[in-house]
Amino acid sequence: MKELFDVAVIGAGMAGVIAARDLSEKGYEVVLLEARDRIGGRTYMDDACGTVLELGGAYVHWTQPHIWRELQRLGITVNAPMQEGSSYWLADGAVHSGTSEDFYGRVAPLLERLFADSRARFPMPFDPTALDNTEIEKESIEDRINSLNLSAYERDVLEAALSGVVHSYKDHGIAQLLHAVATYFGNFSAFLETAGTWSIQGGTKRLVNGMMDETTAKLLLSTPVDSISDEGSQVTIGTRDGQKIHARTTIVALPINTIGDMHITPALPHVAQSMIARKNPTLAGKLWIRVRGLVEPFTICAPAGKYPLNAVRTEMYLDGDTLVLCMCSDDSAIRGEDRFGVQAALRKFIPGIEVVDIAYHSWVGDEFSKGGWMMNRPGCFTTGAVVLRQPHGNIHFAGSDISASEAGSIEGALSSGAQAARDVSIKLAKRRPKP
Ligand SMILES: Cc1cc2nc3c(=O)[nH]c(=O)nc-3n(C[C@H](O)[C@H](O)[C@H](O)COP(=O)(O)OP(=O)(O)OC[C@H]3O[C@@H](n4cnc5c(N)ncnc54)[C@H](O)[C@@H]3O)c2cc1C
């Protein structure tokens, strides 16, 4: 093992891989330390339901600058979504149905009220701290919905429309969502399109492998890190199997829910420690369902916490069957093998539908993620995340969970990883001896 690397990047998700790629392109010697036996982190493709499916993050958009640059650089395009069909929604205890226009016609005025101040709160989304949002940071999504004084039906329709991204109205702060909507001109539907419609041709694996192919970083898989110590002139990284790796600087590109497992010296500022201790509360999951036959396209929306399946839609046809994608607000309500339970839950909306297979990865149960996509708790988005974006001596942090742009997404991971690489590069360039 080399004695002293320029940079040790910890975590080979999208954030860590782009950071390692960008720094090695600049000529720095980089080691990339990854706990799992694969790269990609919370993006992950595997054999499932008779094909290869995205079991984690998947959807991207041409409006996302870092994603789009990487896809273009690698010559990759995106897959168009399946056409929309019938809509079913669960509200005030009953199943309702209509076209997708019928559903969005009902929900659009409610969404407008919910996000009315998004652009005023975050007028420059590229700088989430441009205004003081202390008051907004106290509000949960539940508080905001309560303030709208909705009927039971309206409330369920609104919560059902949010349920593809929000899984606990009580635990999630409104600030991150206001920021996401402000990024897309105050329009929730536009934000939702970027978050869950267009998938990568060849998948996320093709993207992350493409970026990895461009790096000269030394990749160490199956190497969980458990300590990081900044000793002033260098950082020493300890691994679970007792290795010590030395580097001038480090980029910690880990999910917020696993940073707490790490012994970091010197201790982080209190506000950062508090965010890490309070965790990413998203305990949701993504389920694939293979149903028999070519089913007419449909979507189902149900409020999080009120039904086991929350945002459901037909995704593609496969060998005479239909693949259906489903976001579930409560990971613990899903049994990866409970085909008949899933079938019963779907039949509430579509009687007679027949489930032949299901596939699921528990990101909550996975020790190297311990949760789903990032949704900040009240009081974190413009405080703890901001502090974690600042260098802590020679220790820098990156990742979608602390990103200033599109937190909780692949774009957020890439943007944050690229920013950390720029910060580290500037720091190392200053230390290079002058010719
Ligand atoms: C089910 C699901 C669906 C999603 N859908 C979308 C979507 O459609 N579109 C979208 O944009 N985003 C989506 N996301 C979010 C997106 O996938 C993530 O925000 C993004 O991939 C996170 O990238 P990251 O590099 O910041 O973190 P991660 O991908 O979590 O990478 C962190 C890496 O650190 C490693 N690690 C953890 N602990 C250690 C340790 N102790 N030592 C060494 N390495 C360690 C992990 O193994 C991992 O490889 C989804 C996420 C989930 C879970």
CA distance 70 to 411: 10
| Helix residue ranges, H only, 184-269 | 188-196, 203-213, 256-259
CA distance 107 to 304: 16
How many angstroms separate the alpha carbon of residue 397 from the centre of ligand 1? 14
How many angstroms separate the alpha carbon of residue 168 from the centre of ligand 1? 19
The reply, when asked if residue 225 is annotated as ligand binding, is yes
Torsions phi, psi of 358, nearest 5?
A: -140, 155
Q: Is the peptide bond before 266 cis (omega within 30 degrees of 0)?
A: yes
Q: Matching CATH topology for 4-41+202-280+373-431 and 99-195?
A: no
Note the pLDDT of residue 435: 63
How many angstroms separate the alpha carbon of residue 364 from the centre of ligand 1? 12
- CB of residue 15 inside a 6 A radius of ligand 1: yes
- CB of residue 310 inside a 6 A radius of ligand 1: no
CB 299 within 8 A of CB 259: no
Residue 295's nearest CA partner among 208, 370, 224, 354 is 354
Do the bridges between strand 78-79 and strand 198-200 make them parallel or antiparallel, or are there none, so unpaired? antiparallel
**CATH no., domain 4-41+202-280+373-431:** 3.50.50.60
Digits of tens for pLDDT over the chain (435 positions)? 679 999 999 999 999 999 999 999 999 999 999 999 999 999 999 999 999 999 999 999 999 999 999 999 999 999 999 988 999 999 999 999 999 999 999 999 999 999 999 999 999 999 999 999 999 999 999 999 999 999 999 999 999 999 999 989 999 999 999 999 999 999 999 999 999 999 999 999 999 999 999 999 999 999 999 999 999 999 999 999 999 999 999 999 999 999 999 999 999 999 999 999 999 998 888 999 999 999 999 999 999 999 989 999 999 999 999 999 999 988 777 766 789 999 999 999 999 999 999 999 999 999 999 999 999 999 999 999 999 999 999 999 999 999 999 999 999 999 999 999 999 999 999 887 666
Torsions phi, psi of 298, nearest 5?
A: -150, 160
CA distance 61 to 410: 10
The reply, when asked if residue 142 is annotated as ligand binding, is no
Coil vs helix vs strand at 97: strand
Pick the CATH number of 99-195 from 3.90.660.10, 3.40.710.10, 3.30.479.30, 3.40.50.300: 3.90.660.10
| Amino acid found at 271 | V
Helices (H) and strands (E) in the chain, counts: 15, 20
Note the pLDDT of residue 335: 67
And the tokens for 196?
A: 């869950």
List % helix, strand, coil for the chain (3-state, nearest 5).
35, 25, 45
Residue 340's nearest CA partner among 358, 316, 321 is 358
| For the chain, domain boundaries | 4-41+202-280+373-431, 99-195
| pTM greater than the 0.85 cutoff | yes
Q: CB atoms < 10 A from the CB of 298, how many?
A: 21
Note the pLDDT of residue 344: 94
Residue 125's nearest CA partner among 355, 330, 322, 406 is 406
Note the pLDDT of residue 326: 95
> From atom 20 of ligand 1, which residue's Cα is the shortest distance away?
410
- CB of residue 58 inside a 6 A radius of ligand 1: yes
And the tokens for 87?
A: 């809509």
Q: Give the atom of ligand 1 at the shortest distance from the alpha carbon of 400.
A: 26
How many angstroms separate the alpha carbon of residue 410 from the centre of ligand 1? 8
How many angstroms separate the alpha carbon of residue 128 from the centre of ligand 1? 22
- CB of residue 398 inside a 6 A radius of ligand 1: no
Note the pLDDT of residue 371: 94
Which conformational region is residue 27 in: left (phi greater than 0), alpha (psi within -120 to 50 degrees), or beta? left
And the tokens for 351?
A: 């009687």
Q: Give the atom of ligand 1 at the shortest distance from the alpha carbon of 407.
A: 19
- CB of residue 371 inside a 6 A radius of ligand 1: no
Q: Where are the beta strands (DSSP E) in 244-341?
A: 244-252, 263-265, 285-291, 298-301, 311-318, 321-328
- CB of residue 34 inside a 6 A radius of ligand 1: yes
Name the average pLDDT for the chain. Answer: 96
> From atom 48 of ligand 1, which residue's Cα is the shortest distance away?
41
Note the pLDDT of residue 118: 98
Coil vs helix vs strand at 125: coil
